[in-house]
Amino acid sequence: MRLFIVRHGETFENKKHIHQGQLLGELNEIGKSEAEFVAEKLKNKNINFDHIFSSDLKRASDTSKIILKQFSNTPITFTTNLREGDWGSWTGLTHQETKGLVQPLDSETLKEIFIRAKKILLSTLAEFNDKTILFVGHNGINKAIISNVLNIPLSKFNQIRKQLNNDIYELEIDKNLKISKFLLNDSEFELFK
C-alpha cells in the first residue's frame, strides 16, 4: 500500500498554543493556504488516490475538503480513529497553563492512541493492500501511525519530530507492516529530533 499522511492546516488554536485535542478547531487563513499547498503538491505528483480517510474533527475535515477539490472523484471517509488524542480537562487550556503539571487522568493515554492508530492502519491495509491511500489527521495520531509502522516504542514517542501543518509523509508498506519507502516532503529525513 502506498500511504500518504497529512496533518491539518494551521488553526487559530495552534497560534494560541492551545491543547486542542478533540476540539473541532478552525483553520485560519494560513491553514487554508497550507491545505491548498498540500493539495496542489499532491496533484502535481500525479497521484490517483483510491480512498481518503480523514479525522472527523473540523480542522482536519476542512483540510480534507480542500484537498478533495483536486481529487473530486475520490471516495472519502471521516473517522474518529484519526482524531487527535483527547486531552481531557486540559482541552482548551494553553501550553503555558499546563506547564509542569502531570497529564490529567481523564485524558487519553498514549497507549490508547497507539491502539487507535494501529486499528485504522491494519483495517486500511486489509481492505486496500495494493492501493494508494491518503490519511488526513493530526500531529499526535499521525506520529502514532508512523510509530506502529516502524515499531517505535511508546517510550520514544516524544523524541519523534513534530509533523508540521504542511508536511506530507509518504510510505510504502505491505500487509505485514514491512516498510519499503518512507519520505517526508519527497526526501529522506531524520525522524527523531
Active site residues: 8, 84
Strand order in the sheet with 51-55: 76-79, 51-55, 132-137, 2-7, 168-173, 179-184
Element at 40 (helix H, strand E): helix 29-44
C-alpha cell at 17: 498554543
How far, in Å, CA of 7 to CA of 59, rounded?
Answer: 10
Rounded-to-integer distance, Cα 101 and Cα 110, Å: 17
Amino acid symbol at 26: E
- Reference 33, options 166, 177, 187; nearest CA is 166
